[in-house]
Amino acid sequence: MTEQSTQPMTWTAAIQAAEPSFAMPSFTLFGMGSLRTSSTAQGRFVTLKRRFVSASQATIDGAEWALWQEQDGVEVPVAAFREPVEPTPESVRTVLELVRGWLFDDWSAEHTQAAVAKHPRVRTLRSPTAVDAN
């Protein structure tokens, strides 16, 4: 008797499956389970991090998406939110909207922060951001 194991869909695969025409910048491994996109011409990038905890705790904690901007060689967090470790159709739509707005639609930092503030699992950043509005 053999059991068929199903691998959970990764976030990058879920985004590509949901919207094949969306050209998410490529992710690279950034250490300790974190992924980071390449930077846009405006110095914007996104990170995706699963806490380095047990699988059961990670399911509770979720995966953290953070939207960043490089300013004068310094990486400044603009907004962050958590989504389930395993993407759902609804969570993929939410991530696509926020990531697209930040990386490609040139949302200002204030607009991005306001959009992320509506997210049920918004994360409070440790230090105030200093990103100028576009």
More confident residue, 9 or 114: 114
pTM of the predicted model as reported, rounded to 2 decimal places: 0.82
How far apart, in whole angstroms, are the C-alpha atoms of residue 48 and residue 51? Answer: 10
Q: What is the mean pLDDT of the chain?
A: 84
pLDDT tens profile 92-110? 999 999 999 999 999 999 9
